[in-house]
Amino acid sequence: MIDGKKIRAPLHRWKSTMNQPTRFVLDEPRLPRVWYNLAADLPQPVPAMLHPGTRQPIQASDLAPLFPPAIIGQELSVEREIPIPDAVRDVYRLWRPSPLIRAHRLEQALDTPARIYYKNEGVSPSGSHKPNSAVPQAWYNKQAGIKRLTTETGAGQWGASLAFAGQLFGLDVTVFQVRISYDQKPYRRALMETYGARCLASPSTETGFGRSVLSRAPDHLGSLGIAISEAVEAAVATPDTRYALGSVLNHVLLHQTIVGQEALMQMEMAGDDPDVIVACTGGGSNFAGLVFPFLGLQLRGGRARRYVAAEPMACPSLTRGRYAYDFGDTAGITPLAKMHTLGSGFTPPGLHAGGLRYHGMAPLVSHLRELGLIEAMAYHQTECFGAGRLFARCEGIIPAPEANHAIACTIQEALRCKREGRAETILFNLSGHGHFDMSAYQDFNAQQLTDKTYDETELATALAGLPSVS
């Protein structure tokens, strides 16, 4: 893996690309009017979620304490196209359509025949793809008369996005932020508070589950699974309150497909067509957002492409997890989903890509992996930051630690193209910028960042503890 130290020379000898465009920007009227629902085109349906108590397939009514009716409808829908409300498009316009960019300088630095494009989702207010789902979720809750939302957040990308969306529609937002990220990234908390949300470190003393975790482990780093348990508990216990999830569920992935729908039009503008599409995966939402519209074309008879999910070696659900029914949270109060999981009792080691620190994977993404339609690769933290710093020095943008996984994978693919002499087209999702993650780059620059991996014994224990489903 390239670490960025040798990057000067190629740019130094930079060959102008003024005869080739760099940025592909769609006009506001071309902002998509529908989200694309992959469920309509699957060769086999995704296994149903199960009720945590009865272990029978969940019904819409089971989800009513958590979500408003419109969201539940989307979660279970098999309609191919779902209209985006005007009020949501009105907000999307603040930053969407997001640009598609040809990474000319990264290509030259790698001396690869591959053409590299990236979709820049870092241009949103909170700096990632997350508002694509936060805005409609807040809107549908507002329409249903809900007054308050609770949620979890890892690195803070999702929490900040929901804080922003809640503010726009007049909803109170409480965010349970995983403690390690709360401590590592104080500026994301400041961002949430600037948008008007309340932010708590999880495990917290505000919920029964948080208190029970703290009583056993007062210094617990937290995890997305624990924060979800707390947010769900708080939502159910408070009147006029619902819960919002930032990834994993079908409706979240649905909202993110606006990314890929724009990218389809933009690749056409570029007169190019991706052979390989890459995105990082934590819960799966930015991967799904970019990949599903392309994969949908393929499933309807279009050309085949490679789709690669890039995940952290420290939390490798797709590459090392088991495909089984498991809870979405640690307390076991959410529905059971069939997914690649490290076990809901597993606490991933603290790493800077907090948004990828989740034990499970979106059921839709897991299903695609089982069907052999997508690939997955795992990367170490330091090689990801090396890739991210190289990207920053070429393209200017400082990527989020999560997005660095996609960049590491893209560089690996581009170097393969070089070895094989193949001029393939690679498209990746730059899911967010790293402006609030600079302490990680500080550590990396000072060579104080280390590779983390999970504890094999803990993983085995967590997998042994998977809930039994008849």
Q: How far apart are CA 407 and CA 4, in angstroms?
A: 12
The DSSP bridge partners found for residue 279 are 309
Cβ 322 to its own copies shortest distance, Å: 38
Per-position DSSP letters for 294-356, written without gaps between them: HHHHHHTT----EEEEEEETTS-HHHHSEEEEEESSSSS-SPEEEEEES-TT--PPP-S-GGG
Closer of 79 and 90 to its own copies (Cβ)? 90
The whole-angstrom separation of Cα 228 and Cα 329 is 6
- 158 vs 195, beta carbon nearer its own copies: 195
Residue with smaller CB distance to its own copies, 172 or 458? 172
Least Cβ distance, residue 321 to its own copies (angstroms): 32
Q: How far is the CB of 442 from its own copies (least distance, A)?
A: 4
Q: Minimum Å distance from CB 435 to its own copies?
A: 4
Which tokens go with 50?
Answer: 């199960």
CB of 164 to its own copies, least distance (A): 6
> Minimum Å distance from CB 2 to its own copies?
15
CB 263 within 8 A of CB 100: yes
Q: How many helices (H) and strands (E) does the chain have?
A: 18, 15
Identify whether the C-beta of residue 225 lies closer than 8 Å to the C-beta of residue 329.
Answer: yes
**Measured from the CB of residue 25, what is the shortest distance to its own copies in angstroms?**
5
* C-alpha torsion sign, points 83, 87, 90, 95: negative
> Smallest distance from the beta carbon of 444 to its own copies, in angstroms?
8
CB atoms closer than 10 angstroms to residue 455: 13
Nearer CB in complex with its own copies: 344/410:
410
Q: What is the DSSP letter of 49?
A: P
How near is the Cβ of 167 to its own copies at its closest, in Å? 5
Q: Which residues contact residue 309 at a Cβ distance below 8 angstroms, ignoring those fewer than 6 apart?
A: 279, 280, 281, 284, 287, 318, 365, 369, 374, 375, 376, 377
Beta carbon nearer to its own copies, 55 or 147:
147
Distance CA 359, CA 346 (A): 6
Shortest Å distance, C-beta 430 to its own copies? 13
* C-alpha to C-alpha distances, 143 to 24, 71, 137, 159, nearest whole angstrom: 35, 11, 10, 21
For its own copies, the binding residues (CB under 8 A) are 8-9, 11-12, 14, 16-18, 21-23, 25, 27-28, 86-87, 89-90, 93-95, 101, 105, 123-127, 131, 164, 167-170, 186-187, 189-191, 193-196, 389, 392-393, 395-398, 433, 435-436, 438-439, 441-442, 445
Select 134 or 315, whichever has its Cβ closest to its own copies: 134
Q: Which is nearer to its own copies, 15 or 419 (CB)?
A: 15
Which of 117/294 has CB closer to its own copies?
Answer: 117
Q: Which is nearer to its own copies, 78 or 438 (CB)?
A: 438
Contacting residues for 90 by C-beta, under 8 A, at least 6 apart: none
What whole-number distance in Å separates Cα of residue 396 and Cα of residue 434? 12
Alpha helices (H) in 26-178, listed in sequence order? 69-76, 86-92, 104-110, 131-143, 157-169
C-alpha angle 400-401-403 in degrees, rounded to nearest 5: 65
> Smaller CB distance to its own copies: residue 46 or 398?
398
